[in-house]
Amino acid sequence: MPLVEHLRELRNRLAKAVLAIVVVSVVAAFYSEQLMQFLAEPVPKCDDLTNSDGGNCAIVSFNTLTSPFTTTIKVSLMAGLVVSSPVWLYQLWAFVAPGLHRHEKKYTYVFTAAAVPLFAGGALLSYVILPVSIKVLLSLTPGGSANILSLDEVLDFTIRMVLVFGLAFELPLLLIMLNMVGIVSGRRMAGWWRGVVMGVFVFGAVATPTTDPVGMLALSGPIVVLYFFAVGFSLMNDRRRARRESEGPSDDEASELDHTPEAVEPAEPVTALPEQTSRNRVNGYDDVT
């Protein structure tokens, strides 16, 4: 298609994706209270301030006049973005797919099918360890002090933990993608294991919003396991690629051309036609011309 048609299709795809997000966000606004209660569930709540002495529990509140409105909008948009993800991901795929080869489409299906459960697993793990992390942070409160937490900050903390864990679980999948396109070999990835393990634990200590070792270990441990799984998969894929290259290219791949120069045979002599002899030339041109 010409450039204008591509831009028109992109506009239509974006309009459908935005419309889906807006519709789901409007519906989620009616259930915003239940969503906020679900996201703030890991916080141990106190009945009154007298019970929060020493950080045993906390009071969740709104600190500003506009906090209820902004928090409702934020939670609704987040729910709309997550719930409508199949729609806008499909629109993105429908725009990109016509330019992909058959094997590229196959890889995309596999990576999408693996990325969704990996992100969901990381998000679920973060929600499981959130109560432990929050209790560790609240336990640092000195005696005689009470914890009054803003619901907006609690939601930001929860969302940040979910995103960090979900995206971190995608790192091994990124390594597999690099191996599938031939950028990084499995042998090279295996040689990086010491630095990767150290880097993962440093990343777990820095990326998690909490300062307790529970969050760091809960994030770093599964990533290390997934990294070694990615190394094993890449090694097997390298062997499969080497075996396939020895058998020849696939149906949708071009064969390699041999550009080695060859010797050229001497030119054959050409006999002039009768009408092209010099006796038939007039003013330098032959009769045929």
Cβ within 8 Å of residue 88, ≥6 positions away: 16, 17, 20, 21
Confidence of residue 256 (pLDDT cuts 50, 70, 90): low
pLDDT beyond 60 at 250: no
Q: Hey, what are 153's tokens?
A: 């900050």
pLDDT beyond 70 at 209: no
pLDDT beyond 70 at 8: yes
Region 123-142: what's the mean pLDDT? Answer: 79
For the chain, what is the mean pLDDT?
Answer: 77
Confidence of residue 158 (pLDDT cuts 50, 70, 90): confident
CB 167, CB 119: distance < 8 Å: yes
Question: 102-138 and 213-247 helices cross at what angle (nearest 10)?
Answer: 170
Q: What is the 3-state secondary structure (H, E, C) of 174-210?
A: HHHHHHHCCCCCHHHHHHCHHHHHHHHHHHHHHHCCC
Helix (H) or strand (E) holding 148: strand 148-150
User: CA-CA distance, 152 to 131, in Å (whole number)?
Assistant: 17
Per-residue model confidence as pLDDT tens digits over 27-69: 988 988 888 888 888 787 777 665 666 667 777 778 778 888 8
Residue 279's pLDDT is what? Answer: 54
Residue 193's pLDDT is what? Answer: 81
Backbone angles phi, psi at 287, to 5 degrees: -65, -35
